[in-house]
Every structure is written in C-alpha cells, then in structure tokens.
C-alpha cells in the first residue's frame, strides 16, 4: 500500500444534490472501500451538493421544453475540476440518461475539461458480469422515471441480461412512492428511513424473485439507505452507489482499492 494517498491534484469528485443524501452515501462508501490505515492514506474527495441549482431531471427528460439540468451539472463539474478532481461520479440514475449524460460529456469536452465522468449504470452491468457470472435474469427497482425511460433495462439487455421489473401499477403506487411520498418516502425521511419504506421495498423485491429474478438492482441511489444489506429473500442486492464508489477509486487510485467486502453470515439464532 502507498505511504500516502494521491497527490493534492488527484481528487475524486462527487457531483451531488440529486438527492443530497445519496452524495453523502457515496462519500462514505468511497471511504469504506479505500485501503488505508491512517488519515493520510485516505483519498482526497471533493463533494459539491447544490440541489437548488439543478432542475428536476425527470421533468426535463419527459419534456425538453422544461429547464435543462445539464448546464448546472456542467458548472458544478467544472468547479470540482477546479478543486483538483480528475474523476467525477454522480449518484443519480436519471442524470445518466443519454440526453443528460451525453450532453454533459460533450459540454465539458467543448470547454476543454479533462475530467473523466464515470457512468454508474454501465459500471453496474460490468459489476454483475464480473461478480455474479452465473446470473442471467436481473430484477430492477427504480424510480418511475427510470422505469419509463427503460434506463437500466436498455443497458442490462445490451450486456446480455434478461430484465424483470414490477408491473406499472406496483411501480407507480408502491416503488415510486417509497422515494417521493411526503409522509414516509426516503426523500422526506432519509435518516433513518421509515419502516414502511423499507417494508415496501422488501415486498417489491420478493415479487421480482417470484418472477424469476436472480438478483435485484437498487436502481435509485436512495434505495440503499433503506436496504443496506447485501441480500434479501436469498437474492443478491446490487447497490450501484457501492459499484460507483469502487469504480471511482479504481479510476483515480487503483492501488488503494480495497478487496471487496464480503457479506457477513447471519447470526445463528439461539
């Protein structure tokens, strides 16, 4: 292991604010997956969270006459680069839709930016093939926008997976409500997440298993706040935020990527 972390100008950038707590979760997972024994051996991480700057991604994706979040995302990414970031990740699934992510990449390139943007969803598909080579049928729990845009479905099917998703009614009335309901949803109550939000997600994962899913992707970056465990109902739970954390370390400081953390076996009951 190196005696110290990367030099000051080799910083991992987190473009946050979508939602804000997901950025904190990514920072924590970068810390957890870094091989370090002292403060000085940990990686330099810059997190910028400007939620008020960034228009709603879903609204824009379904109606391009609405405010475009790309200029704000580019501005924040340039600020991260000015702070020394060489690799940047954003813990927001809708920000990886082509009309936003590709436009952001192009805008940064046109501005002369050298920062590398890591694509969380493509990394998740690669992780599945690498870490779970026997799995072919993957369930996805996501926001309604990601569901209707087929974001995970398109990437996973291109990688050779079969995809299982909730029916439209369950997606709209149960899974999406886990995120956005103002009384029990994760955006309203992130720490701790409500019992109802956790229970509804577990029930939705069980439904995917009944429909043949061999693993379940938590395709909203706030879902891991409700389901931090590595498996449910005997299925692996795939956390794209964890995948992104490891991809950022691999891109920015590969020598300091810790070995994968293995799930602990359940405690024996008395």
- Tokens representing 269 are 């009951």
Is 268 within a domain?
no
- 62 contacts 53 by C-beta, under 8 angstroms: no
Give yes or no: residues 104 and 152 share one domain.
no
pTM of the model: 0.92
Give yes or no: residues 92 and 103 share one domain.
yes
Give yes or no: residues 112 and 152 share one domain.
no
Give yes or no: residues 129 and 98 share one domain.
no
Give yes or no: residues 42 and 30 share one domain.
yes
Is 265 within a domain?
no
DSSP 8-state class, residue 172: I
Alpha carbons 55 and 230: distance in angstroms, whole number: 32
- Find residue 266's DSSP bridge partners: none
Give yes or no: residues 159 and 172 share one domain.
yes
pLDDT confidence tier of residue 2, bands split at 50, 70 and 90: very low
- 221 contacts 124 by C-beta, under 8 angstroms: no
CATH at residue 191: 3.40.50.1860
Contacts 24+ apart (CB under 8 A), 261-264: 261/32, 261/33, 263/229, 263/230, 263/231
Cα-based distances in Å from 233 to 73, 107, 168, 170, 221: 37, 43, 22, 19, 20
pLDDT confidence tier of residue 263, bands split at 50, 70 and 90: low
- Tokens representing 86 are 């060489």
Place of tokens 């400007």: 50
pLDDT tens-digit readout, 119-166:
999 999 999 999 999 999 999 999 999 999 999 999 999 999 999 999
Is 29 within a domain?
yes
pLDDT confidence tier of residue 10, bands split at 50, 70 and 90: confident
- Tokens representing 58 are 């879903």
Q: Tell me, what's the pLDDT at 6?
A: 44
The four Cα atoms 178, 182, 187, 192 give a dihedral, to 10 degrees, of -80
Is 214 within a domain?
yes
Write out the residue range of the structural domain in which residue 28 sits. Answer: 11-117+244-256
Alpha carbons 74 and 78: distance in angstroms, whole number: 6
Q: DSSP 3-state assignment of 135?
A: coil
Give yes or no: residues 96 and 141 share one domain.
no
pLDDT tens-digit readout, 87-130:
999 999 999 999 999 999 999 999 999 999 999 999 999 999 99
Give yes or no: residues 113 and 125 share one domain.
no
pLDDT at 268 over 60: no
Give yes or no: residues 94 and 172 share one domain.
no
pLDDT confidence tier of residue 260, bands split at 50, 70 and 90: confident
Is 270 within a domain?
no
Give yes or no: residues 25 and 105 share one domain.
yes
Give yes or no: residues 46 and 78 share one domain.
yes
Is 62 within a domain?
yes
pLDDT confidence tier of residue 261, bands split at 50, 70 and 90: confident
Give yes or no: residues 128 and 217 share one domain.
yes
| Radius of gyration of the chain from its Cα atoms, rounded to whole angstroms | 18
Listed range (8-17, 125-134, 244-253) with the worst mean pLDDT: 8-17
Q: Tell me, what's the pLDDT at 214?
A: 98
- Give mean pLDDT, residues 190-202: 96
DSSP 8-state class, residue 251: H
Q: How many domains does the chain divide into?
A: 2
- Give mean pLDDT, residues 61-89: 97
Is 192 within a domain?
yes
Is 263 within a domain?
no
């Amino acid at each position: 292991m190196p005696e110290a972390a990367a030099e000051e100008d080799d910083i991992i950038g987190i473009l946050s604010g979508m939602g804000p707590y997901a950025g904190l979760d990514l920072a924590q997972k970068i810390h957890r997956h870094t091989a370090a024994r002292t403060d000085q051996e940990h990686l330099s991480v810059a997190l910028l969270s400007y939620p008020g700057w960034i228009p709603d991604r879903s609204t824009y994706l379904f109606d391009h006459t609405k405010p475009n979040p790309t200029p704000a995302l580019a501005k924040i990414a340039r600020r991260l680069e000015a702070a020394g970031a060489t690799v940047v990740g954003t813990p927001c699934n809708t920000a990886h839709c082509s009309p936003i992510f590709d436009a952001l990449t192009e805008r940064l390139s046109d501005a002369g930016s050298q920062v590398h943007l890591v694509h969380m969803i493509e990394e998740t598909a690669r992780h599945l093939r690498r870490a779970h080579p026997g799995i072919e049928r993957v369930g996805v729990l996501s926001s309604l926008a990601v569901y209707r845009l087929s974001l995970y479905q398109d990437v996973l099917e291109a990688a050779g997976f079969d995809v299982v998703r909730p029916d439209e009614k369950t997606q709209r009335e149960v899974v999406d409500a886990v995120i956005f309901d103002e009384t029990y949803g994760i955006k309203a109550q992130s720490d701790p997440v409500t019992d109802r939000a956790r229970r509804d997600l577990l029930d939705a994962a069980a439904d995917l298993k009944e429909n043949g899913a061999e693993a379940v992707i938590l395709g909203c970056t706030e879902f891991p706040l409700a389901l931090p465990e590595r498996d449910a109902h005997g299925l692996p739970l795939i956390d794209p935020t964890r995948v992104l954390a490891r991809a950022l370390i691999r891109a920015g400081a590969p020598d300091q990527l810790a070995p994968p953390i293995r799930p602990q076996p359940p405690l024996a009951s008395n």
